[in-house]
């Protein structure tokens, strides 16, 4: 027997492409109809992005400036006040290049809003100097060659400063723990730890003020 021929009057065969086109466009059409009855999403208020006045106390001086609510302390220091010693690194709280002291405690400037820092005492690496003279921790880093490319050094110095303010006589293990939030891509950790030890000893013996 030969094959039965399809009746031209039967259901029309649908090609694979035609089927996929029909299926893919149906939800779009339905979504378009649904959106026609939805209430438009509210537009965010412009005031949320408008600058506001803030006073920041940095290195013993008060600075009045305008910042957006979303501006970080890192942005305020570098772009609005020209204090470029605080370095941007990962800008997500992982590398420590932007470390500053807030009320004597090490903090990541990239994770701290400028408005959040108002009313607190902020110390940057510039604030450790006495005029053109390096501060004690800075001197120790130079003497122990605790740097290679130097990019992370300001943050390392600030972390060490905060550590020694809280613990003037740290053990090596305490130094390692206290400095663990600051990364050095060059791997100069051994020299960094020695520099912190030197700074601590010098402070105890009066070798550094």
Residues sharing a CB contact under 8 Å with residue 80, sequence separation 6 or more, in sequence order = 65, 66, 67, 71
pLDDT category, 15, cuts 50, 70, 90? Answer: low
Amino acid 205: pLDDT: 84
- Sort 3 into a burial class: Cβ within 10 Å, 0-12 / 13-18 / 19+: exposed
- Who has greater pLDDT, 198 or 26? 198
**Which tens digit of pLDDT belongs to each residue from 34-84?**
443 444 455 444 466 789 999 999 999 999 999 999 999 999 999 999 999
Place of tokens 């070798």: 207
**Torsion sign across C-alpha atoms 157, 158, 163, 166:** positive
CATH classification (class only), 129-209: mainly alpha
Helix axis angle for 189-205 and 153-166, nearest 10°, is 40
pLDDT at 8: 47
Second-level CATH architecture of 50-127: Roll (3.10)
Question: Is 129-209 in the same CATH topology as 50-127?
Answer: no
Reported as a single tens digit per residue, the pLDDT across 52-63 is 999 999 999 999
Domain ranges in the chain are 50-127, 129-209
């Amino acid at each position: 027997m030969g094959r039965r021929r399809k009746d031209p009057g039967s259901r029309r065969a649908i090609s694979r492409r035609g089927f996929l086109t029909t299926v893919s466009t149906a939800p779009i059409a339905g979504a378009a109809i649904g959106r026609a009855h939805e209430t438009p999403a509210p537009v965010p208020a412009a005031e949320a992005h408008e600058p506001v006045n803030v006073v920041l106390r940095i290195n013993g001086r008060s600075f009045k400036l305008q910042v957006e609510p979303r501006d970080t302390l890192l942005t305020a220091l570098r772009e609005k006040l020209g204090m470029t010693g605080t370095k941007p690194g990962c800008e997500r709280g992982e590398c420590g290049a932007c470390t500053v002291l807030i009320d004597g405690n090490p903090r990541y400037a990239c994770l701290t809003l400028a408005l959040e820092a108002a009313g607190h005492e902020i110390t940057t690496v510039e604030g450790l100097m006495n005029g053109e003279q390096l501060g004690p921790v800075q001197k120790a880093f130079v003497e122990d060659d605790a740097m290679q490319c130097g990019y992370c050094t300001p943050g390392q110095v600030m972390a060490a400063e905060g550590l020694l303010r809280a613990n003037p006589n740290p053990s090596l293990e305490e130094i390692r723990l206290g400095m663990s939030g600051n990364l050095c891509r060059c791997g100069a950790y051994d020299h960094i730890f020695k520099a912190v030890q030197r700074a601590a000893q010098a402070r105890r013996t009066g070798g550094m003020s």
